[in-house]
A and B are shown apart, each in its own frame.
Chain A
Amino acid sequence: MTSPSLRLSPGEDARLAGDEGPAVALAMGIVVRMAEILGARELVEIASSHIDGCLYHGDGGVEFAERLVDLGGAVVVPATLNVGALDLLNPARVRSQGHKREMALRLMRAYQALGCTPTWTCAPYQAGHRPALGEHVAWGESNAVAFANSVLGARTNRYGDFMDICCAIAGRAPRTGLHLRERRRATVVVDTGRVDPDLKRRDVFYPVLGTWLGATVDDRVAVVTGLPGTVSEDQLKAVGAAAASAGAVGLFHVEGVTPEAPDLETALGGAAPQTVLTPNPRELRIVRDTLSTAASGPIDAVAVGSPHFSLQEFRHLDKLLPATPFAVPFYVCTGRSEYRQLEASGHLSRFLGAGVEIVVDTCVVVTPILPPQGGVLMTNSGKFAHYTPANTGYGVVYGSLEDCVSSAIRARVSRDECLWS
């Protein structure tokens, strides 16, 4: 029973009725109900999916995935998997035991049994999964959604656990929100003209900009102006990850950089902006400070790689590796795709030799990896800074990658403040 405003094709009706089996009917039933709730008039065929549901949050998620497997479910589009709660390449890395560990593994296996690709990364776009401009997809994981929409110009809403796999099994998503051209148009202009150009060239600026963006524009679509044309893919991914942690940002444009914003007029779809915002340096400094719960003193660990560290970021870290060993654990979270490329190129031993602990398939804020005694974690990630206190019990300090390295050597916060003064 569908609402009168939603029209299904004969093929979609048949799938809903169970012509392609009970798993398709269940998945299509959820997609259709969500389409009704969202006020969609029709469904859209999707080209791929990124599945966030494989991270263990409790037994309910396992029960649902295994139900789909038992009903004979299989994805009908290429589907990559987000992080799980275990490091499968180095099982001792994650401390969880007993029931929780067993269920986390069962969940990961169930999603593989549904035909998903075991990428186990929150940055599938670094593992070769890069949808084309204008392609409709159904992605989960808030940073990946922001990246797919903003940096690649693919079209996805923020699909949560369950919806991602249902879309991948049904091959459809509700045609609503960011699937619609008119909803992708920026209505907010964020002019960074008051920010020091030197700061805008540094990686440490971008998670702060993202946090400010998430908190300020939330689910509206913004176009950011005044960023250097050299802004990197890693810097854009940092903006999206922080913005999607601090607010419901699914898409942002950067004038002259991202594919739907070759110029301001195009990004705005020819209309006048509803709002023009000009963040000032003082405001951004305050936002930077909110990313930390401590500003000085001892630290107990460093973690980077949220979203998962790219090969480019590894190259950057490589240049910073100290001759003396780190005084605290230094974790780098990354995908197995990046890990294998490091291994193949012979660079992995450089990092291991310097005492870097490489976490694969998962990350330090979603599963117990950090030393159990707690303390203060330092990070260069806006997303880690956001989630560390609630998810790990650690205090957190935000700084650049350079700050993280110099602090890890001293086991004390050591930050270059001059860019922010």
Chain B
Amino acid sequence: MELRGTPVQEGTGSGPLLVLRKPLSFWGGVDPLTGAVSDPRHPRHRERLTGRILVMERTIGSSSSSAIMLELLRNDVAPAGIVVGRPDAILVLGILVARELGYPTVPLLRVGEEAVARLQMAEGKWGVISGDSLRVEPAQGSA
């Protein structure tokens, strides 16, 4: 499967898809030191975002989520790429600041809500973000 979208932050990245069904606030929801979901009320509590292609409809909650995004990049525990359904102005800001400070960045691709809904079935499969596309391949090791 290949989905096309708008690259909000250009770049390439690949990893297993982590598809969130419930929105997540990075502030209060993700540990900036480990990259793990830290909100005990979130269904993916304790799972690490690190190295995954994070798929979610949108971000919610505190605007401090940009700061957590910067810390994840700085601490080298960020997702390998982020795919969102709706425009996101909060995570991309953390990525822009990381770039200003000279840290490596990750791509952020907006694909629309319908595409994110289609990705609900792709949990764990291998995702590759490149340019304006997200390519979904069988899980690595099972191909």
Q: Which residues of A contact B (CB under 8 A)?
A: 26, 30, 33-34, 37-39, 52-53, 55, 57-61, 63-64, 67, 140-142, 145, 157-163, 218-219, 244-248, 365, 386-387, 389-391
Determine the chain A residues whose CB is within 8 A of the CB of B8 once the complex forms.
Answer: 37
Considering the chains assembled together, what is the distance between the CA atoms of A38 and B89 in angstroms? 7
Chain B 9-58 interface residues, beta-carbon cutoff 8 Å to A: 27-29, 32-33, 38-41, 58
The answer to whether B97 and A30 touch across the interface, beta carbons within 8 angstroms, is: yes
Determine the chain B residues whose CB is within 8 A of the CB of A52 once the complex forms.
Answer: 63-64
Report whether over half of chain B's contact residues are helix, strand or loop; otherwise say mixed.
Answer: loop
Tell me whether B3 is interfacial, beta carbon within 8 Å: no
CB closest residue in chain B, given A389: B40
Q: Which of B67, B98, B103 sits near A160, CB closer than 8 Å?
A: B67
Task: Pull 16 A–B residue pairs with CB atoms less than 8 Å apart, ordered by A.
Answer: A30-B93, A34-B93, A55-B67, A58-B74, A64-B70, A64-B100, A159-B63, A160-B65, A160-B90, A161-B66, A162-B97, A246-B60, A248-B58, A248-B59, A389-B40, A390-B40
A52 to chain B minimum Cβ distance, whole angstroms, is 6
The answer to whether B66 and A160 touch across the interface, beta carbons within 8 angstroms, is: yes
Report whether over half of chain A's contact residues are helix, strand or loop; otherwise say mixed.
Answer: helix
Given A30-B100, A52-B64, A391-B28 in contact, is the A60-B71 Cβ separation under 8 Å?
yes
Tell me whether B1 is interfacial, beta carbon within 8 Å: no
Determine the chain A residues whose CB is within 8 A of the CB of B40 once the complex forms.
Answer: 389-390
Tell me whether B61 is interfacial, beta carbon within 8 Å: yes
Determine the chain A residues whose CB is within 8 A of the CB of B75 once the complex forms.
Answer: 58
Tell me whether B115 is interfacial, beta carbon within 8 Å: no
Considering the chains assembled together, what is the distance between the CA atoms of A33 and B74 in angstroms? 21
The answer to whether A60 and B67 touch across the interface, beta carbons within 8 angstroms, is: yes
Q: Which residues of B contact A (CB under 8 A)?
A: 8, 27-29, 32-33, 38-41, 58-68, 70-71, 73-75, 87, 89-90, 92-94, 96-98, 100-101, 103
The answer to whether B74 and A34 touch across the interface, beta carbons within 8 angstroms, is: no
CB closest residue in chain B, given A157: B89
B70 to chain A minimum Cβ distance, whole angstroms, is 4
Determine the chain A residues whose CB is within 8 A of the CB of B29 once the complex forms.
Answer: 390
Considering the chains assembled together, what is the distance between the CA atoms of A57 and B103 in angstroms? 17
The answer to whether B74 and A389 touch across the interface, beta carbons within 8 angstroms, is: no
The answer to whether B89 and A34 touch across the interface, beta carbons within 8 angstroms, is: yes
Given A64-B97, A160-B64 in contact, is the A37-B70 Cβ separation under 8 Å?
no
The answer to whether B38 and A390 touch across the interface, beta carbons within 8 angstroms, is: yes
B35 to chain A minimum Cβ distance, whole angstroms, is 12
The answer to whether B64 and A55 touch across the interface, beta carbons within 8 angstroms, is: yes
A228 to chain B minimum Cβ distance, whole angstroms, is 29
Given A142-B61, A159-B63, A248-B58 in contact, is the A63-B101 Cβ separation under 8 Å?
yes
Considering the chains assembled together, what is the distance between the CA atoms of A209 and B87 in angstroms? 27
A384 to chain B minimum Cβ distance, whole angstroms, is 11
Given A58-B32, A389-B39 in contact, is the A53-B67 Cβ separation under 8 Å?
yes
Determine the chain A residues whose CB is within 8 A of the CB of B100 once the complex forms.
Answer: 26, 30, 64, 67
CB closest residue in chain A, given B6: A37
CB closest residue in chain B, given A214: B60
Considering the chains assembled together, what is the distance between the CA atoms of A248 and B70 in angstroms? 20
B45 to chain A minimum Cβ distance, whole angstroms, is 9
Identify which of B33, B40, B60 gathers the most chain A CB atoms within 10 Å of its CB: B60
